[in-house]
Structure 1
Amino acid sequence: MTIEEMIARIGPLDEAAMAEAAKHADQLTKPPGSLGRLEAVACQAAGITGDKIPALDRKAVIVMAGDHGVCAEGVSAFPAEVTGLMVANFLNGGAAVNVFARHAGADVVCVDIGVDADVNHPRLVSRKVRRGTANMAQGPAMSREEAMAAIRVGYDIVGELVDEGYRLFATGEMGIGNTTPSSAMLAVLAGLDVSAAVGRGTGIDEERLKHKQEIVRRAIAINKPDASDPLDVLAKVGGLEIAGLVGVILGAAARRCPVVIDGFISTAAALAASRLAPQSAAYMIPSHLSNEQGHAAALEAIGLAPMIQLDLRLGEGTGAALCFLLVEAALKMMREMATFESAGIPGA
């Protein structure tokens, strides 16, 4: 399937379902609008699914994992080998995202889309496009065809999970060094200065931060990514797991499922998805505002406002998994809360 065919399958939200949901919310035993963003999320979910009160019980955090050749430039506090080790941790249920997903009643689906190691596990979804990207400070991170292949991986996995009954998705990722390509993508797609887009990632010091900024500047100068062509940006200064998440977002939107966006890397993917298919932004639920520099600007570039702010900067899908609980609360409000009529209370 081509990117054009994927985009063509994304329709507008169901305005009639949203109006029904809003009318129902106003009949609940509370002042109209007094539950704020929860009411907005409930109406958004209705518009996405076409159901006034949808059932989104089966939830999945899709964790895309890939390595980055730019790690050779010393942009991360951790060695690239940690990517494969953390994938094993996800698969064994020991990572933070596993804990939060269990708390939210969700499953973690871990996808090897570009890990530069051989990871074997019965629960691993192995869809390796290539063994890590090339060093974007010396040339394109990957070819346009590889970026498209990675998008297709994410798109197809959502389709498979929808066929299994999943209806609510979250974006997660693992890839040592991946704040560097995410920062480069943000700088190009949002027209930001590199110093505003590049943050500390895994906790690098001031000297390494300046070095990281210089690497991003070099990558942009060498590759000259075209801001009007998001696929070109993904290929030249992006990452395999980032492109995979673009596919997850487009796939969820095409199948009328909400997708909860996690932190900085996930939002860089969401920004690329929104530039490819502006209508996909209506299917996104932003989870949190991370401490990573550039995240607020990335959300603003899409037109999204975060649900929570907990000073998170881990990634993995942790904030999105926590946000599942808020989405569930919004739907339970609609389903279980008494109306003025059923409670025998005179309405306003």
Structure 2
Amino acid sequence: MSQLEARRIVLASRPKGKPTTENFRTETVLLSSPSPGEVLVKALYLSVDPYMRGRMSESKSYVPPYEIGGVVGGGAVAEVVESNDDRLQPGDIVSGQFGWQTYAIVPAKHLRKIDPALAPITASLGLLGVTGLTAYFGLVDICKPQRNETVVVSGAAGAVGMTVGQIAKILGCRVVGVAGSDEKVRYLTEQLGFDEAINYKTAENMTRALKHACPNGIDVYFDNVGGDISDAAFRNLNTGARISVCGQIALYNLEQPDVGPRLLTPILIHRALVKGFIITDYADRFPEGVQQLAKWYRDGQLKFEETIAEGFDQTVEAFLGLFTGANLGKQIVRV
């Protein structure tokens, strides 16, 4: 094959506070044919996710930071254009972690073939991918919700949060979501069946708002946000509460360390379990999670919502929109 032009978005500089377009740069590179064991893929959809902000900093975390001048890594759905591996053929639809680029040469072993008959192919970036698995294991494995318990979800209109809430409803819980607009509040209660939802931007006092929404207290708190919302949730815990710490998007762009209420006292008083997790901890159980999520989806018990930005050039703007709550559900980019 003759050389092919591919566009890619790289990290130009490390953000200080909230990222801006100046922290990114678009480059064009030439790709040739894949080597043995590799495939050439054409990106169809790209994922943008809050965790990417953490990888843009140099501070130590659970994964290495992005390199300056390196492609911004993340999930993507692609079509195989040329294959040098028997496991994949041209025309196959695959998902992988090759990041923000229009074409890429990727080891076949790092890609997962997608069955378009199971669900829309974008679901592999959301409900049937890392997003759905994060919701499933973070709630079911860590929090072990029981029927009639009260489950509170922050960031409830995001891709993980809305899945957590729906799973909790399937399991017979009372579910309260926290989101950032009246439109999202209505979506959670009217479309997804949440028992109640709170707009944290208009609530005068989150502690009181949660107490009103959770008259029997909070048994399970799924934390996607951190900050003041989580402080309020901890003040309403029941004895034996379980808290799954999935994300802290309220804190990602802070330039100075956050100083908030000390939470060990309510943890002690209520004998609460607090556990942070990274979804790769459950890698060997992914097939179990996908099977259960797919069954609930086929049975009509799980819905998923997507916000789709059109065009590769909108990738950075779509990512920045995560920090203003511009998206409903999973934010992806159609290349």
Q: What TM-score do the two structures reach when normalised by structure 2? A: 0.29
Q: Which has the higher helix share?
A: 1
Greater relative CO (CA pairs within 8 A, separation 6+) = 1
Q: What TM-score do the two structures reach when normalised by structure 1? A: 0.28
